[in-house]
Structure 1
Amino acid sequence: MGPCKRFFAVFGLLLGLPTQAAEPVPVTLGTVQVQVAKVHAVADFDLPASTTTVDTDGNGRGALISEALGGVPGLLARERQNFAQDTQLSIRGFGARSTFGVRGVRLLVDGVPATMPDGQGQLSHFNLLGAERIEVLRGPFSALYGNSSGGVLQLWSADGQRGDPWRLRSSYGSNNSISTGVQLKGQAAAMHYNVAANHFRTDGWRDHSAARRESLTARLGFDLAPGQRLDLLINAFDAPHAQDPLGLSREQVRANPHQATAVAGQYNTRKSVRQAQAGAVYTLDRERQTWRLMGYAGQRAVEQFLAIPPGPQNSPLHSGGVIDLDSDYGGIDARWAWHGALAGKPLELVMGANADRQRQDRTGYENFVGDTLGIKGRLRRDQRDRVENIDQFVQAWWQFSPRWSALVGARHSQVRFRSDDRYITPGNPDDSGRRDYSATTPVAGLVFRANDDLRLYASAGRGFETPTFNELGYRADGGAGLALDLSPALSRNYELGGKWRAQNGARLELALFRADTDDELAVARNSGGRSSFRNIGATRRQGVELGWWQPLPNDQHLQLAWTWLQATVREGYLTCTGLPAPCTVPLNPVAPGTRLPGVPRQQLSARWQWQPGAWQWAAEMVAASDIGVSDLGDTRAPGYGLLNLEVAREWNTARGPLRLFARVDNLLDQRYIGSVIVNDGNQRYYEPGPDRAYSAGLQWAW
């Protein structure tokens, strides 16, 4: 019996088991913030968009964001068992190609961008311990957030109030994994505070995958006067020397999925990240108007040791096997919101502009000195990169009849790339260059109110995605300089959907979607440990999302999320992916109809919960179909189905409630591929998922 068949067999058996939510449960809150501005607020039930809000306050396990996002339709978040690389995150297939960081999906924390102006983002500093909720937006209206917005993920910290408890949370699990955090939340005079600090470390499930992470977040809110509010946002993150086990070939996975690739040990592949940022948000509410001004600034340093052998680095154009990045970034956002009426019908209007900038010192070094590997050697790259955007946007919601409402908007974005090369030698000419991109992305949607508990909607819009600086870094022809010939990917997005709710809290949401993209970016060349990119033509992502939330008798709850996604190439092209390697001239054909890599055709998440008194029980199952690993579409990682169980018990003490909890992941001890490295030049595509794992911990609130 295959893993997916086992999954559905176990699912049938579990229909008789009592369960509970010790994990965050996706719920849809009553209102959303339209384009982040806190206007009169429109219920998400009345918006022509797919939105899901995950309530994390008091429930998050405190370390990994992927643990909170398993029940969101259309979203794929995969931990790689490799803390030197970020969580793999994609929404409706956007972002699935990324081999490092997050691209194609817009990320924000308390309204502050975690995605840089070039579209490259990071999840590593998202701290769940201090979070209240995570909002996920899918579909055409994501384009209102700017460049590389195939979807939007926002984390919001809780706003401290009088009487809020403080929390201490600690857990221990398999592979000597420890997570300990403390949250101080409340109100002192006019100041609302929420400060959360977390320590995490692990020896890693795979060899050479040990890691340590420290994070601190703080949200301090000040009531300056009636209708006036100032929020100060602080974030710090440190992850030194996270070991990178690299991917495995299919044969290596069969032999020993715990192993690291041999060169990982030879070169001591690892990555260090340190980030600190601060922001301020001023909000002024006056009758029907809301003014909001946000500013932020930060620094991020990354040092990564790769497993590139000395041979390819003999080329005078090679940038070495050590990447050293020091970045300064910041930006401002100003917006005005008004709620009133047009022709006697309710109207919400938001207008604004924002500007963001990142300045990056990018240096490269050889990863050897003499015969000693895995240490920093001679300088091979030295450039100053700058990317900035200036955007303007407007959107309006109008309920023009008792049964009909419309949401329309547009955003104009201008993204500018500049690079100043300071490493110039006789064999390596001046690679300085610049490139500007701009686009206007309109969106529109209609909602029909069939009755009090049923909404039908349709929406459409355009989006665009520029290359990131990493994709601009190497030319497809192997020559010196940046790939300034790359064009942005342009998409046309459509969605039809329905939302239903019942008086007992049951909800059902269904969405059909399509995104047609021109000038999709894909790998053109793999050589010397580097990948270059090209525009390949047209692709299509289309599918169905279903979310169902059903309360059951005796404090039970059922939640299902299912996604069917067909992501394919519409125009054939040639690629260097596959053999021979290294490849300098694209020769391998990719036929029309080939599936895009990194995208499973189907995903299913099911969770049944039960809370009898002080006890809490939960069972959840996740399943995914097979997934392509390269543009050629001829090799896939197999699908899988996993079962996880939880139990918790809470006691009321004189000092506050004490909660003990335990969890078993992958109860059936399945062997599976947890994530893939798309288009890996060494064809080590596979990152195995862990076998049966245990964790236990406590939380004390006082």
Structure 2
Amino acid sequence: MKKIVLVLLFLVLHQAYSQQVADSSSLKEVHVKAYFTEQPLLRVPSSISVISSATLQDHSPFSLVPAVNTVPGVRMEERSPGSYRFSIRGSLLRSPFGVRNVKIYVDDFILTDASGNSYLNLIDPRSTSSIEVLKGPEGSIYGANTGGVVLIRPFTAQDSLSVNASLGGGSYNTFNQNLSFYKQGRNFSIGVHEGSLRSEGYRQQSSASRKYIHINPEWRYSRISKLKSLILFSDLSYQTPGGLTLAQFNASPDSARRQAIIQKAEVSNKTWLAGMANEVAISDRLKHIISFTASKSDFENPAVANYELRDESSLGLRTYIEYSNKQFYFPFTIQLGFEGQKTKMLKNNFVNDAGAMGNQQQGADLNANQRFGFAHFSAAVSKQLSVETGVSINRFSYSYLSLFPESSAELERRFKKNELMPRFAVSYMPLPGLNFRGSVSRGFSPPSLEEVNPSGTAINTNIQAEKGWSRELGLRLSMLRNRVYWDAVYFDYKLNDAIVRGVNPNETDYYVNAGKTDQRGLESELSVQLLPFAQSRIIKSLQLKNSTTIYRFRFKEYLFNRNGLKDYSGNKLTGVPAQTIISSLKTSLPADFSFFIQHNYTSEIPLNDANSTFAKSYHLLNARVAWKSGSRKFPFGFYVGGDNLLNESYSLGNDLNAAGDRFFNAAALRNYYFGLTFGY
């Protein structure tokens, strides 16, 4: 903190110099669309971070992990290539595999299914323009979640015509290819993105491949109306090497668990996602938006304990009407809307006979239904004061039908009717460039279908939805034409009936409610343009960024009564590091070269609820050198980068509460990547 204050003081003392620099040297003000209408991030009364296109390009094109982890309060892990985990403010607790308890949208379309599960690993990083991360419960307009919301913005047509291509490779026989086409007409635009990735992975039994395509056309069919759609297909497969004990990790981190090799453990996921959205400006003050989303997933997972097949399909509808009045005593906007979604899962488990399906163990037909109505109000009460308030009324239900070994009548589980999720937020700007904010919000998140019916186990009818209140205070500071930007926040989150994962002796999962958690934290995000761009210097520009996360997360009340009563109250929250500090420096050099370097410090991580085992802290150093031609019509470039340049031995994507103390999934040691980019 002292270093941050000194940097700010230094820049203030040099303000006279800064004012002589042309406006073109200042950083662009960031705008977000998280709350329906585009607005400056500086004035938004919520904790939102933006992962820009530039940030995504500064890191390896093979994975979203390093770019996403630059956001304070967000932790993304990769147990092996393609096996993502994602958490916001500690929500990793209930996400041993995949992404749960975080609502994800691709443009206006719902990626998360009705039960709260998201296949984020389907997305090609190169297809993404930017990512907005809303931290903390955002149920007032986005429905059930206690972690947060992620809004993925795909690339759209900018010029009248553009074609971009890239080829890349790297360590462990990694190869990546992308091709994008954008066409912008008077009333019609279309973007097409295609990509493929394959890698043998750092560890045994960790190869991965992905084939991806998405198409997003947009048609302005009248002066007041436009229609846009999304068609996305992803064919993803990755082997799963399994967790290692500490002794195995220290002796041979690149090895796989023997049973994972014997059972040929892997995941295959073929998913279609399609959507259509229509917007009509009924008048200057009134507009209506409606979007439909449909998805279909074929999921196959020969695992150590069993062989699982899932056939999943989802349908979703989101619609709202917006009224905006800028001529009132104070400008205000109101949105009234509805979102509903239904997911159907046909699930069959078999004996895994060395990678082949054996005798069937279980079969079930599971359905999840969620729907909520919402209202949102925002107003600029004065030039300094803005307020936002919103509330949603939620209904959630599951139905279960056993198909094997015995058929049963359909059972239904309804959670509390009319579950309210309110949010109130205020921001105050006493001086230009200085904004204080505060908010109170409630989260609610029922268990996902995978938590209700884990692989190879019976349906759990006792597990409850988790819910809680979050309170936060923050500030944003923008100075020197936005060349200095600082966002800091303190939050206090009380979560009840937190859902945690356990593992049976036969290595099947189970989920229980862990009572109450007490989650308090400080998050800071700083960006400083130390040297504004100047063509005449050797170092043409120099930008410093820092992301700091400091957490005190504890189980407040956690009595665990399985195979004997245990009291974990007061223990650290499993899977959450207490400190994460990420700093980077980026500079523009002569002859159109640029250089980027980033350091990541992550403190030790508790690996089980008992806090008897911790993953050690680690330091990561990444760097990238890039060159791009000055040609606007035929841009051409190349890049060379390295990850984990300190050759740190660490685990990324630990198996929490693992059976047999197999917690550790070793990340790659020092590795490199390179690529070429072409454009028109």
Please give the TM-score of this superposition, normalised by the length of structure 2: 0.90
Residue type at the aligned position of 2:465: P
Q: Residue 462 of structure 1 aligns with which residue? A: 442
Alignment of 1:579-598 (within 5 A): 585-587=562-564, 589-598=566-575
Alignment of 1:81-92 (within 5 A): 81-83=80-82, 85=83, 87-92=84-89
Picking from 270, 291, 294, the partner of 2:266 is 270
Q: Distance in 1 between matches of 2:471 and 2:411?
A: 36
What SS is found at the alignment partner of 1:251? helix
What SS is found at the alignment partner of 2:248? helix
Residue type at the aligned position of 2:155: A
What's the CA shift for 1:341?
5.1
1:79 is the counterpart of 2:78? yes
8 Å Cα contact 1:640-1:672 kept in structure 2: yes
Picking from 322, 326, 329, the partner of 1:344 is 329
Q: 1:297 to 1:383 in 2, by over 3 A?
A: same
Q: Distance in 1 between matches of 2:621 and 2:181?
A: 34
What's the CA shift for 1:572?
3.3
Q: 1:140 to 1:449 in 2, by over 3 A?
A: farther
1:677 is the counterpart of 2:655? yes
What SS is found at the alignment partner of 1:690? coil
What's the CA shift for 1:130?
2.5
Residue type at the aligned position of 2:280: L
Show structure 1 runs of 5+ residues with no match: 1-26, 309-320, 576-584
Alignment of 1:277-676 (within 5 A): 277-285=273-281, 286-308=283-305, 321-340=306-325, 344-368=329-353, 373-425=354-406, 430=408, 432-438=410-416, 439-473=419-453, 481-505=458-482, 506-523=484-501, 526-553=504-531, 554-574=540-560, 585-587=562-564, 589-613=566-590, 614-652=592-630, 656-676=634-654
Q: Residue 311 of structure 1 aligns with which residue? A: none
Runs of 4+ deviating beyond 4 Å: 652-655
8 Å Cα contact 1:107-1:154 kept in structure 2: yes
What's the CA shift for 1:421?
1.1
Alignment of 1:210-225 (within 5 A): 210-225=207-222
Picking from 115, 118, 138, the partner of 2:115 is 118
What SS is found at the alignment partner of 1:117? coil
Q: 1:652 to 1:29 in 2, by over 3 A?
A: closer
Q: 1:524 to 1:680 in 2, by over 3 A?
A: closer
What SS is found at the alignment partner of 1:161? coil
8 Å Cα contact 2:471-2:491 kept in structure 1: yes
What is the CA deviation profile of residues 239-296 of structure 1, one whole-angstrom value per residue up to 9, with x for unaligned ones?
24x2110111100001100000111111111111100121001011231122101001
Residue type at the aligned position of 1:543: G
Q: Distance in 2 between matches of 1:163 and 1:134?
A: 24
Q: Distance in 1 between matches of 2:580 and 2:501?
A: 26
Q: Residue 93 of structure 1 aligns with which residue? A: 90
What SS is found at the alignment partner of 1:224? coil
8 Å Cα contact 1:448-1:456 kept in structure 2: yes
Q: Residue 13 of structure 1 aligns with which residue? A: none
Q: Residue 62 of structure 2 aligns with which residue? A: 63
How many residue pairs get aligned? The number is 639
Q: 1:62 to 1:194 in 2, by over 3 A?
A: farther
8 Å Cα contact 1:159-1:221 kept in structure 2: no
Show structure 2 runs of 5+ residues with no match: 1-26, 532-539
What is the CA deviation profile of residues 625-658 of structure 1, one whole-angstrom value per residue up to 9, with x for unaligned ones?
0001111111100010111111112224696111
8 Å Cα contact 1:89-1:96 kept in structure 2: no
What's the CA shift for 1:88?
1.6
Q: Residue 701 of structure 1 aligns with which residue? A: 679
What's the CA shift for 1:207?
0.6
Q: Distance in 1 between matches of 2:635 and 2:500?
A: 52
Q: Percent identity?
A: 21
1:252 is the counterpart of 2:248? yes
What is the CA deviation profile of residues 501-523 of structure 1, one whole-angstrom value per residue up to 9, with x for unaligned ones?
01332101110011101111124
8 Å Cα contact 1:62-1:181 kept in structure 2: no
Q: Distance in 2 between matches of 1:339 and 1:259?
A: 59
What is the CA deviation profile of residues 149-179 of structure 1, one whole-angstrom value per residue up to 9, with x for unaligned ones?
4111111112213335211111110000000
Q: Residue 6 of structure 2 aligns with which residue? A: none
8 Å Cα contact 1:433-1:482 kept in structure 2: no
Q: Residue 21 of structure 2 aligns with which residue? A: none
Q: Distance in 2 between matches of 1:167 and 1:375?
A: 42
Q: Distance in 1 between matches of 2:327 and 2:494?
A: 35
Q: Residue 23 of structure 2 aligns with which residue? A: none
What's the CA shift for 1:137?
0.8
Q: Residue 5 of structure 1 aligns with which residue? A: none
Q: Which moved more, 1:228-237 or 1:70-79?
A: 70-79
8 Å Cα contact 1:140-1:495 kept in structure 2: no
8 Å Cα contact 1:433-1:484 kept in structure 2: no
Residue type at the aligned position of 1:401: S
Residue type at the aligned position of 1:133: S
8 Å Cα contact 1:56-1:68 kept in structure 2: no
Q: Distance in 2 between matches of 1:465 and 1:219?
A: 31
8 Å Cα contact 1:49-1:139 kept in structure 2: no
Q: Residue 17 of structure 1 aligns with which residue? A: none
Q: Which moved more, 1:128-137 or 1:214-223?
A: 128-137
Q: Distance in 2 between matches of 1:344 and 1:457?
A: 23
8 Å Cα contact 2:102-2:145 kept in structure 1: yes
What is the CA deviation profile of residues 630-688 of structure 1, one whole-angstrom value per residue up to 9, with x for unaligned ones?
11111100010111111112224696111110001111211112220111223211111
Q: Residue 223 of structure 2 aligns with which residue? A: 226
Q: 1:384 to 1:524 in 2, by over 3 A?
A: same
Residue type at the aligned position of 1:187: Q
8 Å Cα contact 1:75-1:90 kept in structure 2: yes
What SS is found at the alignment partner of 1:254? helix
Q: Distance in 1 between matches of 2:69 and 2:280?
A: 36
Q: 1:654 to 1:70 in 2, by over 3 A?
A: closer
Alignment of 1:128-147 (within 5 A): 128-141=125-138, 143-147=140-144
8 Å Cα contact 1:643-1:667 kept in structure 2: yes
Q: Which moved more, 1:336-345 or 1:533-542?
A: 336-345
What SS is found at the alignment partner of 1:617? strand
Q: 1:96 to 1:47 in 2, by over 3 A?
A: same
Q: Distance in 2 between matches of 1:144 and 1:594?
A: 33
8 Å Cα contact 1:332-1:354 kept in structure 2: yes
What's the CA shift for 1:600?
0.4
Please give the TM-score of this superposition, normalised by the length of structure 1: 0.88
8 Å Cα contact 1:424-1:430 kept in structure 2: no
Q: Which moved more, 1:587-596 or 1:462-471?
A: 587-596
Q: Distance in 1 between matches of 2:243 and 2:447?
A: 25
What SS is found at the alignment partner of 2:113? coil
8 Å Cα contact 1:456-1:498 kept in structure 2: yes
Q: Distance in 1 between matches of 2:52 and 2:350?
A: 44
